[in-house]
Amino acid sequence: MKTYSIANQKGGVGKTTTVHNLAAGIYMQTQKKPLLIDLDPQCNLSMACGLMPDQVDHSYFDFLRGADFEDVGHDVGFADIIPANHDCVLAESWIENKRRGRQVVIQKRMEELAGYEYDYVFFDCPGNLGFVTVNAMIAASKVLVTLQCEYFALEGMAKMQQEIQAIEEDGKSVELCGIVPTLWNGTTLNYEVRNEVRSQFKDIFYEVRIRRNVKLGESPSHGKHIFDYAAGSHGAEDYAALSREFLRREQ
């Protein structure tokens, strides 16, 4: 079981879209369901999988507080998911107020999943570097960053590296294992920023570019991943390529 947190301290940079469609692509290519964990109180991943927050009785926050995996997990066809609901806004301060082990709350609970045969587990992180994200990064030990190649992308990467370094100074191991360019427009700025970040992060920078594609924006509101919603689209093409590249790098 390999676990990844999909993280970036910014919102709106394609984290959730990537967890959703990368998981679907992996399922199509391997016939094995990944496990997804929606850590964002905005519940976008859960909704994209057809689980509306007011219908979700048990969330990942309940799981953290001791609920059984069997009671919080849902099978959504291409993946299993531990969803979020609106109660999850409280998770951040609940973790913060723990007296001990504040950084390993998620890691501790993940031990319960050791007996399950998932090849891949993905955390969809909120768009900040708060306690939940840091917990996920530690629990996962591998971090995949989605990067919009715009101004401040480098500053964002530097911040992420600082956070990873701080975690390592605490004696925990975290590996930045991939940077995936998302919301790609093909502008000169996109290319410049990509070349700059790539020259710093060489081997972990993905070859694939996830182009901006209207269908990718539409599919979640239909409760579908891109391969179901618009199989012939650029979005489907790019996420199929990402899934292949991910499996090639991580298998």
Distance CA 203, CA 205 (A): 6
The Cα–Cα gap between 39 and 153 comes to: 23
Stretch near ligand ADP under the rule CB under 6 A, chosen from 6-14, 31-39, 169-177, 189-197: 6-14
Side-chain-facing half-sphere of 231: CA atoms under 13 Å: 2
Rounded CA separation 146/222 (Å) = 23
Q: Which is nearer to ligand ADP, 77 or 217 (CB)?
A: 217
Binding mask 170-189 vs ligand ADP (x if CB under 6 A, - otherwise)?
A: ------------xx------
20 binds Mg ion (CB under 5 A): no
- Which of 15, 33, 109, 194 binds ligand ADP (CB under 6 A)? It is 15
Task: Give which of ligand ADP, Mg ion, none residue 109 binds (C-beta under 5 to 8 Å, depending on kind).
Answer: none
Question: What is the footprint of Mg ion within residues 25-64 (CB under 5 A)?
Answer: 40, 44
Q: Are 71 and 26 in contact (CB under 8 A)?
A: no
- C-beta closer to ligand ADP: residue 73 or 220: 220
Measured CA to CA, the distance from residue 176 to residue 144 in angstroms comes to 6
The amino acid at 94? W
Contact 177/142 with Cβ under 8 angstroms?
A: yes
Q: To the nearest 10°, the Cα dihedral for 95, 101, 103, 106?
A: -70
Q: Which of residues 61-120 bind ligand ADP (CB under 6 A)?
A: none
Pick from 3, 4, 14, 15 the residue near Mg ion by CB under 5 A.
15
Q: Which amino acid would we find at residue 213?
A: N
Closer to ligand ADP by CB, 113 or 223: give it: 223
Query: Measured between alpha carbons, how far is 209 from 175 in angstroms, rounded to an integer?
Result: 22
Terminal C-alpha separation, the chain: 11
Counting residues that bind ligand ADP (by CB under 6 A) gives 17
25 binds ligand ADP (CB under 6 A): no
16: contact with Mg ion by CB under 5 A = yes
Using CB under 6 A as the binding rule, whether residue 16 contacts ligand ADP is answered as yes
Alpha-carbon gap, residue 129 to 245, rounded angstroms: 27
Site mask for ligand ADP (CB under 6 A), range 198-217, x = bound? ------------x-xx--xx
Residue 32 or residue 157: which is nearer to ligand ADP going by CB? 157
CB of 25 to Mg ion, least distance (A): 18
